[in-house]
Amino acid sequence: MSVRHIPSEERGDIPAPELQFKTEKGCKCRCGTNTCECGEDVSVPYKFHEGELLEEIKAYIDATYSQHYSRTKFQASEFIFDGGHGVGMNVGCIMKYAQRYGKKDGYNRKDIMKIIHYAILLLYVHDEYIAKESK
């Protein structure tokens, strides 16, 4: 079974979480589901454990919401983003942890998880602030 990504001109203005795929039968299946409306299995045969790693990343991010800096109603990041400094803060944090990986505390996964988390926050800033301002 082969699955191809539907280019934006074919799918219209569908947000990223709603990406669709066409199967060999020509069905349109939504990204994130493992079974098409026709019953065909469309799960992605990951070669590098991406599915498991994404689950681990989600669990890591979920755990940050119970840590000390998120006990109040607002996180400091919200004020930073609203003040127009979201890109700089997230890129700076990505650089910090990327340069630290292998040095402080050795080659540890926690630095990589922080890089990924800040990259996700950067995507949020892009979608919520940068992309909306450029329209």
Q: Which of 45, 11, 47 is nearest to 29 (CA)?
A: 11
Give the range among 46-50, 83-87, 121-125 with minimum mean pLDDT: 46-50
* Mean model confidence pLDDT for the chain: 80
Neighbouring C-beta atoms of residue 81, cutoff 10 Å: 19
- The residue written with tokens 């340069």 in the block is 99
Query: Residue 73 has what DSSP assignment?
Result: S
Q: For 23-59, what is each residue's pLDDT tens digit? A: 666 676 665 566 677 777 667 788 999 999 999 999 9
Q: pLDDT grade, residue 4 (50/70/90)?
A: very low
Q: pLDDT grade, residue 67 (50/70/90)?
A: confident
